[in-house]
């Protein structure tokens, strides 16, 4: 148990027809709560850090915290730099001990995405680190202060060439999923996911997993997704929870009390996600 490679956990999820829960680990409250939930549910877990979501937290602090927590976990926990967009940031993450890095070249032309992904794969694999890439573009934004990216769907005919030329371990794809909140009813092209899953044997990743129904998640997993990311829907509930708890308190809460309430919120939400994705009880089989 303990620190694990994300592609190993994703391959097990693909074979077992469940999804690996992937959650943001931006603060100690989030990390403690989500690992405890995974341990109590006997579930594997992926913890990521996204610099664009937590620019106020130095990479060296965040990733060191996540890696240390994963090493001491009683279940397999993968660690990942999410949405790395340049070689230097990805190399910093590798030096800090993460088990996987994501290179997000989704804004690049196809040939440039291939070239840069291939170079990152070459270097990361030399350190035993798995690499996730993105083909197509998952739009939206998990950060309200930034502009939203426009989506364009992953073309199945491009996937085989991309995977073969880059040697990437896992692939994030675009099929109607968006970062942040969905506007209206999500329209997910699950036939596209099935087609891509048939064409390649590497695990497929869904970013923008917040806010779907339990039935949506079931259908997404059945179509071939092995890893689903969560942040926005969970994080949106923190402030209402703190407000409720503070209102019920007999005196003005001290900070450590709010920390405890925050841990409780992320713990409950993580247990709920684990249940929906079918990963409970899977850690002991790995």
The predicted pLDDT at position 185 comes to 57
C-beta separation of 175 from 127 below 8 A = no
Q: What is the pLDDT of residue 152?
A: 72
Report strand pairing: 76-84 vs 2-4: parallel
pTM for this entry:
0.90
Partners of 139 in beta bridges: 178
d(CA 285, CA 219): 24
DSSP-assigned letters across all residues of 148-164: PBPPBPPPHHHHHHHHH
Domain chopping of the chain, boundaries:
2-285
DSSP string computed for 18-42:
--EEEEE--SHHHHHHHHHHHHHHT
- Res 142 pLDDT > 90: no
Q: According to the model, what pLDDT value does residue 58 have?
A: 92
What is the tens place of the pLDDT at every residue in 89-127? 999 999 999 999 999 998 899 999 999 999 999 999 999
pLDDT of residue 106: 86
* Torsion angle defined by CA atoms of residues 162, 163, 167 and 170, in that order, rounded to the nearest 10 degrees: 120
Is residue 52 within 8 Å of 28, Cβ to Cβ?
no
Helix, strand, coil distribution of the chain in percent, nearest 5: 50, 20, 35
- Give the single-character DSSP code of 55: T
CA 286/CA 283 separation, integer angstroms? 5
**Best CA proximity match to 168, nearest among 127, 128, 123, 202:** 202
pLDDT reported for residue 283: 98
Beta strand 139-140 with 100-103: parallel, antiparallel or unpaired?
unpaired
**Vertex 78: Cα angle to 75 and 79 (nearest 5):** 135
Q: How far apart are CA 275 and CA 255, in angstroms?
A: 31
Q: Which of 21-35, 50-64, 74-88, 147-161 has the lowest mean pLDDT?
A: 147-161
Q: For the domain bounded by 2-285, which CATH number is listed?
A: 3.20.20.70
pLDDT at 71 over 90: yes
Question: What confidence tier does 187 reach under pLDDT thresholds 50, 70, 90?
Answer: confident
Band of pLDDT at residue 186, cut at 50, 70 and 90: low
What's the rounded Cα separation, in Å, for the pair 169 and 204?
A: 10
Select the more confidently predicted residue: 176 or 82.
82
Average pLDDT over residues 236-254: 90
DSSP single-letter state for residue 137:
B
């Amino acid at each position: 148990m303990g620190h694990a490679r994300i592609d190993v956990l994703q391959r097990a999820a693909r074979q077992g027809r469940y999804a690996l829960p992937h959650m943001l680990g931006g603060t100690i409250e989030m990390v403690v709560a989500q690992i405890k939930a995974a341990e109590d549910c006997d579930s594997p877990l992926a913890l990521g850090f996204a610099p664009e979501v937590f620019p106020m937290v130095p990479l060296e602090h965040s990733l060191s915290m996540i890696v240390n927590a994963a090493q001491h976990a009683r279940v397999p926990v993968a660690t990942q730099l999410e949405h790395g967009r340049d070689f230097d940031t990805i190399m910093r993450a590798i030096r800090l001990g993460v088990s996987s890095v994501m290179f997000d070249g989704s804004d690049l032309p196809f040939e440039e995405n291939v070239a840069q992904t291939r170079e990152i794969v070459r270097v990361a694999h030399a350190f035993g680190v798995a690499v996730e890439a993105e083909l197509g573009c998952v739009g939206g934004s998990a950060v309200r202060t930034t502009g939203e990216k426009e989506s364009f769907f992953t073309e199945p005919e491009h996937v085989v060439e991309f995977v073969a030329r880059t040697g990437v371990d896992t692939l994030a794809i675009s099929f109607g999923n968006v970062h942040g909140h969905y506007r209206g009813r999500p329209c997910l092209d699950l036939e596209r996911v099935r087609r891509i899953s048939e064409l390649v044997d590497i695990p497929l990743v869904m970013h923008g997993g917040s806010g779907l129904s339990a039935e949506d998640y079931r259908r997404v997993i059945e179509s071939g997704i092995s890893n689903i990311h969560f942040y926005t829907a969970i994080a949106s509930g923190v402030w209402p929870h703190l407000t409720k708890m503070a209102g019920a308190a007999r005196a003005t809460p001290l900070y450590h009390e709010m920390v405890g309430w925050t841990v409780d919120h992320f713990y409950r939400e993580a247990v709920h996600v684990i249940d929906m994705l079918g990963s409970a009880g899977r850690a002991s089989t790995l």
